[in-house]
Chains A and B, each alone.
Chain A
Amino acid sequence: GAVVSQHPSRVICKSGTSVKIECRSLDFQATTMFWYRQFPKQSLMLMATSNEGSKATYEQGVEKDKFLINHASLTLSTLTVTSAHPEDSSFYICSAVSGAKGNEQFFGPGTRLTVL
């Protein structure tokens, strides 16, 4: 199957700093990737749609200036949490759409962000 990786798997940072999370499709090209956030005991919440070569589309209530998304290549999308605060602590998950596999979405393993 198609493989999606995320880096780092875990990150701890101080309040006020910025954190970058990478999402890579390892064996396929993805023109579209999605970013989700998941708080403890809750479901995944879609944050934004990342399109290669164009600006990301954010869901209602998600601050685009706080969660910067860059999809610079067909295999890499990055999410930068700027000026992170403790309430941004969450599990961030990306998914990538494979055109070669019927436009199915494949998910990364997630990144656990803890802001102190």
Chain B
Amino acid sequence: DAKTTQPPSMDCAEGRAANLPCNHSTISGNEYVYWYRQIHSQGPQYIIHGLKNNETNEMASLIITEDRKSSTLILPHATLRDTAVYYCIARGSSNTGKLIFGQGTTLQVKP
């Protein structure tokens, strides 16, 4: 699976949009971009994933560049409960593909 690179930390004001970038310049054509987050001392929580097109769900939006070498996770209205470590993972399309976690981005949402 392709390596991903994320900034180690980011701050965001409560109520504002949080934009978390991820670089995956070596991603292959069949690899999806997945985002998970981990709130302190809990298991990771699935957020969203995509292949080529932008995706949106009730939690977030995922914007993938046309060349697929980078993506951005957008939390439209960050709350204090969104403070967590966010992981961007490139995962192959095999049915039981394992997830390899990098260091992620620690997002601190501030009042």
Q: Is A25 an interface residue (CB 8 A)?
A: no
CB distance from B3 to the nearest CB of A (A): 13
Which candidate, B61-69, B75-83, B96-104, is the interface stretch facing chain A? B96-104
CB distance from A67 to the nearest CB of B (A): 16
Give every chain A residue within 8 A of B44 (Cβ-Cβ). Answer: 44, 93, 95, 107
User: For the side of the interface on A, what is the size category?
Assistant: 20 to 34
B87→A97 contact, CB < 8 A: no
Within 8 A of B (CB), among A87-116: 91, 93, 95, 97, 99, 103-110, 112
CA distance A6 to B46 in the complex (A): 17
A104→B46 contact, CB < 8 A: yes
Within 8 A of A (CB), among B87-108: 87, 95-104
CA distance A45 to B100 in the complex (A): 7
Q: Is B54 an interface residue (CB 8 A)?
A: no
Main secondary structure of the interface of B (DSSP, over half): loop
A43→B46 contact, CB < 8 A: no
**Which partner residue on chain A sits nearest B43 by CB separation?**
A107
CA distance A106 to B98 in the complex (A): 12
Q: Is B53 an interface residue (CB 8 A)?
A: no
B101→A44 contact, CB < 8 A: yes
Give every chain B residue within 8 A of A32 (Cβ-Cβ). Answer: 96
CA distance A91 to B44 in the complex (A): 12
Of the candidates B43, B101, B104, which one forms a contact with A109 in the assembled complex, judged by CB atoms under 8 Å apart?
A: B43
